[in-house]
Structure 1
Amino acid sequence: MDISEVFPEECLAHIISFTSPRDACRSALVSRNFQLAADSDAVWKGFLPPNYAEIMSSAPASSSSKLADLSKKELYFHHCNNPILINDGIMVRMILHL
């Protein structure tokens, strides 16, 4: 029996949220149900810093409107590759743990 058929997506997402971004990406390869759970905003919100909304609001207006349309996973990877300067030029960058 496939475990992804036993547990609902929300339960799988909750379990995956206790792993790392790398493990979440890997778990998405297991099955379609794992992929849906691993790609969910519930998982990726936990990998973002607690003040990610504040950081996003510090971004230039042109990019902040685009960022609002991204999923939490897309937002995570965007910030890993595109640091934002806030508070007198202090660089905020998420470290990619893959």
Structure 2
Amino acid sequence: MRPLEGLKILDFCWVAAGPMTTGYLVEYGATAVRIESKRRPETLRSSPPLRGNGSSPNRSGYYGNYNAGKYGFGLNMAHPKAIDIVQRFVGWADLVTENFTP
């Protein structure tokens, strides 16, 4: 058993510091669900090094490294039901993380 097994994280982080931090928690056994919107995708998705020549948003080595082991959930935050969905995730989570500017 890993030390953080059973800890549930709802992850709204992006770029480097937030995803890296929650990634460390996942390495120690936490379960993380990463929320992302197609309207504002994670900027790390386009950061080199990039694998292959395709147009897939899942080619970045940085993105893959910082988000390894996490579940992903795409959500249109402008949709009327988005708040209800987020509230259900918050009720599930032990920890909610975000690193947006105030």
User: Normalising to structure 1: TM-score of the pair?
Assistant: 0.29
Higher relative contact order (CA 8 A, sep 6+): 2
Q: Which has the higher strand share?
A: 2
Q: Rg larger in 1 or in 2?
A: 1
Normalised to the residue count of structure 2, the TM-score between the two structures is 0.28
